[in-house]
Amino acid sequence: MITILGVQSLDGEIVDLTIPSSQEKILEAKGLTLFPALIDPHVHFRTPGHEYKEDWRTAAKAALRGGYTTVFDMPNTLPPTVTATLLQEKKALINAQLNDIGIPLHYELFFGADKNHLTEIPSVKHDIIGIKVFMGCSTGNLVIDDDESLRSVFEIAATHQLLVAVHAEDEHLIRQQKIKYQGATDYQTHSRIRNEEVAVCAVEKAIHLTRQYGTRLYILHTSTKQEIALIKQAKQAGLPVFAETTPHHLFLNETAYRDLKGKAVVNPPLRSAEHNVALFNAIHEGIIDTIGSDHAPHTLSEKEKPYGECPSGMPGIETTLPLLLNAHHAGLLTLDEIVALTSRRARAIFNLPENTDIVLVDLHKTAPVIEKNLKTKCSWSPYANQILRGWPVYTILDGICYKLETLS
Ligand SMILES: [Zn+2]
């Protein structure tokens, strides 16, 4: 049993509590605040096929350091997770990697929608958290770019009561835009090619299909005020539409290209500052349900490549909670909104069972993001050297207490 003494609850009360455990441990938690452990509905831990960028041995430690004990991994690996066999093979690899480090991280897997393997969906329905649809190409080759296949996915998902998570960027618009900006070398071109219309058009299409089939729809990485307006409308109409945003769409914008260069390249791209504001407002209104780190590591040398060759994506799982807590101190978010974004809404949307996992946070610890201390294999952060106030100190997963500062 783990006994936690003198911890502050989210209501501000000082309480003692116990957590079932095979360890006998007493934690003096004076000055720390108790949060439910975080759930990350959107990570790319790169196994199989891209283990040089990240694997579950490094990523699980990064997750714990970020206060997370549950993650949902995306299917755009090499090979992509598009058949029952590939799904089982991926699980075996993940379990072996977690076993190596002895961290029983909770995870769920998304199944990739691929037009040649849609018939596999019914056979995996009890083993997956949902179906991931790339409406536009991102890392990997997984894409559903024709209306007929997209319609089939929504129909199959509705029949089998599966949730569809969409990467909502329209592939046809992206292709047109790429021709228009051919030869451009400025990293900021990325935001021009994958402009707001690219995302809005895809979200519109996905919501339309949900209206038609009743499919539960989870819109990944919402990044624009126009998408927010469409999602608001859909929710008001009673449609089962849920929305995620990311730390980078909340805390970064196009001005980041100047310093971060290729590190700022991400899909969907960074937008202008007005969209940051709109996203915070959408959180207050309950239009945005969750935050997904979209932890998508690439090596530094990959991110230093010129525009066009530089892959999209950035790491994020270790810095999301400190960024949110720092925003709380700046008056941008309440602690209850942070809990809703990082665990409560995800638990409800994805029907996750309750557990005893928690994270103990020092709301007032003020420290910079130090890249060499990060556990992610890529060892860099778009928030490097930023001083943030509010950091997790202990994460408790399945009755095992991890002291984050000394996690090796
Ligand atoms: Zn992603």
Q: pLDDT (tens digit, 0 to 9) for every residue of the chain, 408 residues total? A: 999 999 999 999 999 999 999 989 999 999 999 999 999 999 999 999 999 999 999 999 999 999 999 999 999 999 999 999 999 999 999 999 999 999 999 999 999 999 999 999 999 999 999 999 999 777 667 888 899 999 999 999 999 999 999 999 999 999 999 999 999 999 999 999 999 999 999 999 999 999 999 999 999 999 999 999 999 999 999 999 999 999 999 999 999 999 999 999 999 999 999 999 999 999 999 999 999 999 999 999 999 999 999 999 999 999 999 999 999 999 999 999 999 999 999 999 999 999 999 999 999 999 999 999 999 999 999 999 999 999 999 999 999 999 999 998
Cβ-based neighbours of 199, under 8 Å, separated by 6 or more: 168, 169, 170, 223, 224, 226, 227, 268
How far is ligand 1, taken at its centre, from the CA of residue 18, in Å? 36
Look up the pTM and report it: 0.97
How far is ligand 1, taken at its centre, from the CA of residue 262, in Å? 17
Query: For residue 397, which of 156, 74, 51, 102 has the smallest C-alpha distance?
Result: 102
How far is ligand 1, taken at its centre, from the CA of residue 29, in Å? 35
Residue 353, SS3?
coil
How far is ligand 1, taken at its centre, from the CA of residue 5, in Å? 39
* Alpha carbon 15 to its chain's center: 31
Instruction: State the DSSP H helix or E strand holding residue 315, giving kind and residue range, or none if neither.
Output: none
* Alpha carbon 272 to its chain's center: 21
How far is ligand 1, taken at its centre, from the CA of residue 280, in Å? 20
How far is ligand 1, taken at its centre, from the CA of residue 309, in Å? 18
How far is ligand 1, taken at its centre, from the CA of residue 67, in Å? 19
How far is ligand 1, taken at its centre, from the CA of residue 223, in Å? 13
Which tokens hold the place of 349?
Answer: 């949307």
How far is ligand 1, taken at its centre, from the CA of residue 322, in Å? 20
The pLDDT assigned to 119 comes to 96
Assign residue 335 a region (left: φ > 0; alpha: ψ between -120 and 50; beta: otherwise): alpha
How far is ligand 1, taken at its centre, from the CA of residue 31, in Å? 35
Give the residue carrying structure tokens 């950035």.
314
How far is ligand 1, taken at its centre, from the CA of residue 265, in Å? 13
How far is ligand 1, taken at its centre, from the CA of residue 72, in Å? 11
How far is ligand 1, taken at its centre, from the CA of residue 4, in Å? 36
How far is ligand 1, taken at its centre, from the CA of residue 314, in Å? 9
Dihedral of alpha carbons 146, 180, 198, 382, sign: positive
How far is ligand 1, taken at its centre, from the CA of residue 43, in Å? 6
Assign residue 80 a region (left: φ > 0; alpha: ψ between -120 and 50; beta: otherwise): beta
Whole-angstrom distance, CA of residue 322 vs CA of residue 101:
25
The pLDDT assigned to 137 comes to 74
How far is ligand 1, taken at its centre, from the CA of residue 167, in Å? 8
**Is residue 123 within 8 Å of residue 143, measured between CB atoms?**
no
**DSSP strand pairing (2-8 vs 14-19):** antiparallel
**DSSP strand pairing (33-36 vs 106-112):** unpaired
How far is ligand 1, taken at its centre, from the CA of residue 407, in Å? 26
How far is ligand 1, taken at its centre, from the CA of residue 294, in Å? 5
